[in-house]
Structure 1
Amino acid sequence: MVSALLLLLTVGVRGTPAQIALRSDLVTVEVTVLDAEGNYVTDLQKEDFELRHDGTPQPIAFFEAQIRSELSRPLAVVFALDTSGSVGPQIAEQQHAARQFISLIHPGSVFAVIGFNDRIRIFQKFTSDPVRIARAFERAREVGGRTRLYDALDRAITLLSRDAPRRRDGRTVRRVIIVITDGFDYTSTISHTEVIHRANAADVTIYSITLPSYVLSVTGRRRVPTLLDASGIVRQTGGRDFSAEERDFMPIFRAIAEEIRASYTLAYYPPLEHRQDGRFHQITVTVRRPGLMVRQSRRGYLAPPG
């Protein structure tokens, strides 16, 4: 949901911007569409989508497709760095890849950096200055302690909700968390279900870059499933998990930028009786073209109380 009484959004399908006024009860959802081979589908139009609210089809009031050759929408990104002993030594590689990622996306984007072990520290509040981001990664080199993964994601969601700009360069800002971790949590006070709920409420997409662990079995080497895998946080916020097998972060950050370039933004007005009923409402997005899979940033939202 958006908070202003009236909000001007830029509507641009394939690069043709126009300004329209949208009421404050608009609900947005980011979606990515893939074919059977896992390739991004970027040629869809508004008419190709169906959006349902609690199972009932709703008119799509707002539609935007990213231009594949450039990221036309600014982002607010929180880099959440696991600085526990198992992950911290790769900070230099992460820093270099993150700087390349920044160069790939909209110049109006802003970034923040937090680090977490048994403490959560904000190394850099939102800025568009890549030098400050690089220095923040430098401050994350001190490692050790246990992991508060879920608490760190909750802090990142709070940063995005409280401090990130809602609009930059005349465009609405998409909210993203990129967490680099071993995927385990030992001391958090918040549950994974609450993290999902808060991310969905704030329309935040979470991408994870996991430094995997392996065990040997009779069938060979097998990756150890993590708590982050089991939690469903990444999947239920529309993100993806990437495995940093060779500790090479560059291809992963490029893949995240490519996925964001291939996304669509849809929005609708809920039925009047549901706009302030204080209840959770399910959002389902499908495409009419057969054989395609949709990944959406939120499965629903909690309406404010009347």
Structure 2
Amino acid sequence: MKLTRHMPKLPMFALLALLLVTPWLASEGRAQQPPTLPPQSDAPKPDGQSDDDEEAPVITLGTELLQLYVIVTDKDGRPVRNLKKEDFLLRENGKPQDIAFFSFVAPGATGAAPVSVAPNLPDSQPSSATVEGRYFALVVDDLHIAPGNFLPLKAALSKFVEKTLVEGDHLLILSTSGTLGFLQQMTDDKRVMRAAIERLAPRPQDTLQGNVGFGFSMTPYEAVLVERSDRQTIQFLIEQYIRAFPGTPPMMAESAVRSTARIIAQQTEYLTTATLETVRSAALALGNYPGRKTLLLATDGFLNDEFARNGRFRMQRALDAAARAGVTVYSIHSAGLEGPAGFDASQPGRFDPTGIAQSLASQGQQARQDAFRELAASTGGLTFVNTNDLSASFDKATADATTYYSLAYYPDKKADGKFHSIEVKLNLPGKFTIRTQQGFFAPSEKALQKAAEKKKKQDAKLTPEAIATREVKSALGAPVPPRDIKVKLASNFVSNGLETTFSTAFAMKDIAFRDANGKKVNTVTTVFAVFDLSGKTMVAEEERISLNFLPERLALAQTGWGSQTKSLKLAPGLYNVRFAVYDPLADHRGAVSQWIDVPDLSKAGLALSDIIFLRSVKASDAKSDKSQPGLGSGLPPGFVPANQALRQYKAEENLAFLITAHNVPKAKPTAGKSNLAFQIQIFRGKEAIYVSPLQRTQYPPSSDGTLTYASQVPLEGLEPGQYLLKLVAYEESTKKTAVQARSFTIDSPER
């Protein structure tokens, strides 16, 4: 493969014109899933791949199919890798179940721990081994983390983001208080992760702990026991109250103890509900993604009184959400290494010759761990307690998820409102440890009908337009965007003096149509919004798009994409860009969220704009293309803008592009050429499949220090799949470099 001729330098007005035009329906897109890497390749996703890039096709699990992620380790704790479908026995409520789907998932990009081979089985990896992307949710229980524990926790979280997460990993950070606000969303952008971690802060201790009155104290665990009418605890607290307030009659003291306990217990229940509901919400959000998902829960511990009115129900809701979404919970005790219970220097001493206070403190310490231990054990995860090395805990939790088996089966369809237990065993000799979800909570038929009737009544009061607005805004604001409809988004920054342009696209194959007046029609609703880092809305535009096709043209239309272009003048800074679409006929939604950084070029050195992709056409086609108005004469002959959101090429085409360099020094040119040189690099995964020599640009920079470079590379001979184009600019006089990259796709021949 060789580098073809360089295109002439383009004036800035032509570049602007290029950015502002994109056809409404880009019919070169196809309805099928974009091609993935060939089966024999285990290359990871390219560097810089964003949320809008494609994934390998996976089994989509609905309400009738339940997927389990099973970790099998030997007696030494090493993962066992060479098991087959017939080696597993699966039961629901004791009844054997048929395994409908089975696969082995190999270690990802971070490498694997040592693996073990089951005895009497060949030492070979199953042919069904696959590599899947990694999706994490980090729930920071700031409602239950002591202020003194935040500093080491934030240090561990920062290390986890910088060292443990690799290219292509996605992370959703949530706080149980909800104070992260706008930053609580799934992202692969480490700048956003850092901002979320930095915003984490201790919360006021809303639960009454320590001193309640002068010389009298009651812990949340003691309050819970009082609510259960535990006589020993009540009597102990009565004695402590009378000691603090001499002369108080026992009956009055007991009344004071019970009223105080009720307040503390209610506040404890409120905070526990917030924690478990955040875990549940995180699990449900992760359910939008394929493969195994990992939820990391950082907490000092919390009390979940299952004897209270909703205690067991709260836990079951969280566990059921995790089971149905394929989420494994790893609980990390952020309190670190705890001393013996009852020796808390921050609490006033108690007169306790009987040792009851010491016993209650020890029980309370264990009770605060019971709930987060159950979350991990019931979902097949692990718990890490009594260690000050929180970074190691996060690393071990991540490593534990590298080798596992994926089993899916059709569960009993009884909507009985009961908990259905799941048991997985091996039909093999030897000692193994098996971890997976322990079951799920089936909804009751009555509850399902009630929810459906409630929604029906609510919708009856709204117009179709109002329902569409509600649904598309819900999709836009979801921490993890819904994916019923495939959507794409790309930003194109040129300079601070020009508007940043955004290209959006949604797959027409995912849109339903109905018959009306001899045509196939639908009206979809879209929302495009841009927010700054504080969550302030810079722009929010809702549109209703009428689609209508002749029946004989529908199949062709559904091979394409609905495309739009938006422009907005943005000051330097970090912005969140979102696009969502709602199809009322199928009641389907699609959304995408992306972070962009608008640099301050006045303070930057050598910098590059975004890469603008082009595609070649015949001169006659370009002239007759009525959907491309406003193209300046500076556009290279025979080239038109590609769809910037899709960035799709055929194998027989040339990859064409242009880019603008800023703040190029006006040094004396060498050999009549500019001192700015570009190198083109094309990657597939981590492998560089094409690297050009450095090529000096033919012209010096403009008076404002800008220089636009354009080129093309033939794609003939490259396999279909995802690629990364990386451009490296090198300025010889200052020895400065700048890099820009963007992924693109080569379609399969049949597409």
Aligned to 1:297: 437
| 1:180 maps to amino acid | A
Q: Say which structure is richer in strand.
A: 1
* 2:299 aligned residue (175, 181, 197): 181
Residue segments in structure 2 that go unaligned for 5+ positions in a row: 1-35, 43-54, 111-130, 208-270, 343-361, 449-751
* 1:266 aligned residue (407, 411, 420): 407
Aligned to 1:125: 185
| 1:191 maps to amino acid | G
> Within 2, Cα distance between the matches of 1:35 and 1:175?
23
Aligned to 2:173: 113
Aligned to 1:282: 421
Is structure 2 residue 288 aligned with structure 1 residue 166? yes
| 1:288 maps to amino acid | N
Percentage identity across aligned positions? 22
Residue segments in structure 1 that go unaligned for 5+ positions in a row: 1-9
Structure 2 CA distance for partners of 1:297 and 1:150, relative to 1, 3 Å: farther
> Within 1, Cα distance between the matches of 2:65 and 2:374?
26
Aligned to 1:4: none
* 1:51 aligned residue (78, 90, 93): 90
Report how many aligned residue pairs link the two structures: 278
Check conservation: 1:97, 1:250, Cα contact below 8 A.
yes
> Within 1, Cα distance between the matches of 2:309 and 2:168?
35
Check conservation: 2:276, 2:318, Cα contact below 8 A.
no
Q: SS at the partner of 1:277? A: coil
| 1:178 maps to amino acid | L
Structure 2 CA distance for partners of 1:22 and 1:142, relative to 1, 3 Å: closer
Check conservation: 1:48, 1:287, Cα contact below 8 A.
yes
Q: Deviations over 1:205-240 (max 9, x none)?
A: 2211112422179xxxx9942423366222112211
* 2:137 aligned residue (47, 58, 78): 78
Check conservation: 1:36, 1:293, Cα contact below 8 A.
yes
Check conservation: 1:242, 1:252, Cα contact below 8 A.
yes
- List aligned pairs for 1:191-270, cutoff 5 A: 191=311, 193-203=313-323, 204-210=327-333, 211-212=335-336, 213-215=338-340, 224-229=365-370, 232-243=374-385, 245-246=387-388, 248-270=389-411
Cα RMSD between the aligned structures? 3.6
* 1:135 aligned residue (188, 192, 195): 195
Aligned-pair distance for 1:33? 1.2
Aligned-pair distance for 1:165? 6.2
- Which fold has the larger relative contact order, with Cα–Cα distance below 8 Å and residues 6 or more apart in sequence? 1
Aligned to 2:279: 156
| 2:434 maps to amino acid | V
Bigger shift: residues 235-244 or 296-305: 296-305
Aligned-pair distance for 1:137? 0.5
Check conservation: 2:106, 2:404, Cα contact below 8 A.
no
> Within 2, Cα distance between the matches of 1:110 and 1:61?
29
- List aligned pairs for 1:4-43, cutoff 5 A: 24=62, 25-43=64-82
Check conservation: 2:378, 2:439, Cα contact below 8 A.
yes
Check conservation: 2:316, 2:441, Cα contact below 8 A.
no
Check conservation: 1:80, 1:153, Cα contact below 8 A.
no
> Within 2, Cα distance between the matches of 1:30 and 1:93?
30
Check conservation: 2:141, 2:298, Cα contact below 8 A.
yes
Aligned-pair distance for 1:298? 3.5
Q: Whose radius of gyration is greater, 1 or 2?
A: 2
Structure 2 CA distance for partners of 1:202 and 1:243, relative to 1, 3 Å: closer
Q: Deviations over 1:7-38 (max 9, x none)?
A: xxx9x9x97x9968777311111111122222
Aligned to 1:90: 152
Q: SS at the partner of 1:126? A: coil
Aligned-pair distance for 1:58? 1.6
Q: SS at the partner of 1:31? A: strand
Q: SS at the partner of 1:215? A: coil
Q: SS at the partner of 1:285? A: strand
Check conservation: 1:63, 1:265, Cα contact below 8 A.
yes
Check conservation: 2:279, 2:318, Cα contact below 8 A.
no
| 1:82 maps to amino acid | D
> Within 1, Cα distance between the matches of 2:381 and 2:60?
27
